[in-house]
């Protein structure tokens, strides 16, 4: 079934209709040779067995073969999950441990995704941009090239409340720590959002905004550029 993932209602329908999954890993000590694993993936070596599959199937398998099993350790990190994590194995970017990136996200070349960052479905991160620790990009949020979304900052998504227009962060933008960009807001190229600001309206290019709600306090000048420099070495 096809979904228009540029529409928040279509994204919601996709999440509603997609098959939910609770994948688990089971570490089992026991003699399972000759057992029927069905659709469960199994790695076995003597009494050491590692199973990968849906919780219901793995649980039923363990119950059916409990006489052959001495020890079980189950691991799972989600329950009835609708959207898988993005396959990052071939992405040309630096993605640190603990980043949570859902499927259908675009990560540009030489971008940096730091520990604890959360990037929701349909979001886009441009080339050489950094999403810092614990920052959040909501569904379909867009970040341009060579921008920096500071630690703990939030760029709102389109899902709830639903919005047809995603947040868009331009090129060479710096968003300070713990700033919040509200639904549908656009931040122009080369602008700076001060730490802790709450941005409720569009921000033009080449300005600095600060406060709650954020207001323009100055144009970007050489002093601003010196304090908000993007470091190439972090993107190699």
Sign for the pseudo-dihedral over CA of 148, 126, 139, 211: positive
pLDDT at 64 (0 to 100): 95
| Lookup: tokens for 45 | 């070596």
Cβ atoms of 197 and 210 within 8 Å: the answer is yes
For the domain bounded by 94-234, which CATH number is listed?
2.160.10.10
Distance in angstroms between the alpha carbons of the first and the last residue of the chain: 39
Cβ atoms of 51 and 40 within 8 Å: the answer is yes
pLDDT band at 163 (very low <50, low <70, confident <90, very high): confident
Cβ atoms of 148 and 132 within 8 Å: the answer is yes
**Residue range 74-106, pLDDT digits in tens:** 999 999 999 999 999 999 999 999 999 999 999
* 3-state SS string for the chain: CCCCCCCHHHHHHHHHHCCCECEEEEEEEECCCCCCCCCCEEEEECCEEEEEEEHHHHHHHHHHCHHHEEEEEEECCCCCECCCECCCCCCCCEECCCCEEECCCEECCCCEECCCCEECCCCEECCCCEECCCCEECCCCEECCCCEECCCCEECCCCCCCCCCCCEECCCCEECCCCEECCCCEECCCCEECCCCEECCCECCCEEEECCCCEEEEECCHHHHHHCCCCHHHHC
Whole-model pTM? 0.89
Residues 6+ apart with CB under 8 A from 91: 107
pLDDT band at 1 (very low <50, low <70, confident <90, very high): low
Domain with CATH 3.30.70.250 in the chain: 19-76
Rounded distance between C-alpha atoms, residue 189 and residue 194, angstroms? 15
**Residue range 165-191, pLDDT digits in tens:** 999 999 999 999 999 999 999 999 999
On average, the pLDDT of the chain sits at 95
For the domain bounded by 19-76, which CATH number is listed?
3.30.70.250
Domain with CATH 2.160.10.10 in the chain: 94-234
The least confident of 22-26, 118-122, 232-236 is 232-236
CB-side neighbour CA atoms (13 Å) of 40: 27
CB-side neighbour CA atoms (13 Å) of 51: 27
Q: What is the mean pLDDT of residues 195-210?
A: 98
- Residue carrying structure tokens 């709650």: 212
**Residue range 109-126, pLDDT digits in tens:** 999 999 999 999 999 999
**Residue range 28-47, pLDDT digits in tens:** 999 998 899 999 999 999 99
pLDDT at 208 (0 to 100): 98
How would you classify the pairing of strands 23-30 and 41-45?
unpaired
């Amino acid at each position: 079934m096809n979904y228009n993932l540029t529409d928040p209602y279509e994204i919601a329908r996709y999440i509603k209709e997609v098959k939910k999954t609770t994948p688990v890993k089971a570490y089992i000590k026991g003699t399972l040779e000759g057992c029927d694993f069905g659709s469960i993936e199994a790695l076995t070596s003597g009494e050491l067995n590692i199973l990968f599959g849906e919780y219901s199937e793995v649980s039923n398998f363990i119950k059916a073969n409990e006489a052959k099993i001495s020890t079980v350790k189950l691991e799972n990190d989600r329950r009835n999950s609708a959207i898988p994590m993005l396959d990052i194995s071939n992405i040309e970017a630096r993605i640190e441990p603990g980043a949570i990136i859902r499927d259908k996200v675009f990560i540009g070349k030489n971008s940096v995704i730091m520990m604890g960052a959360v990037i929701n479905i349909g979001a886009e991160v441009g080339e050489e941009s950094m999403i810092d620790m614990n920052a959040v990009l909501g569904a379909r949020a867009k970040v341009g090239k060579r921008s920096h979304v500071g630690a703990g900052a939030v760029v709102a998504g389109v899902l709830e409340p639903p919005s047809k227009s995603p947040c868009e962060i331009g090129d060479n933008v710096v968003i300070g720590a713990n700033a919040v960009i509200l639904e549908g807001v656009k931040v122009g190229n080369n602008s700076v959002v001060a730490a802790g600001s709450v941005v409720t309206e569009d921000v033009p290019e080449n300005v600095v905004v600060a406060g709650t709600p954020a207001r323009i306090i100055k144009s970007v000048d050489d002093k601003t550029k010196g304090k908000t420099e993007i470091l190439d070495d972090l993107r190699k």
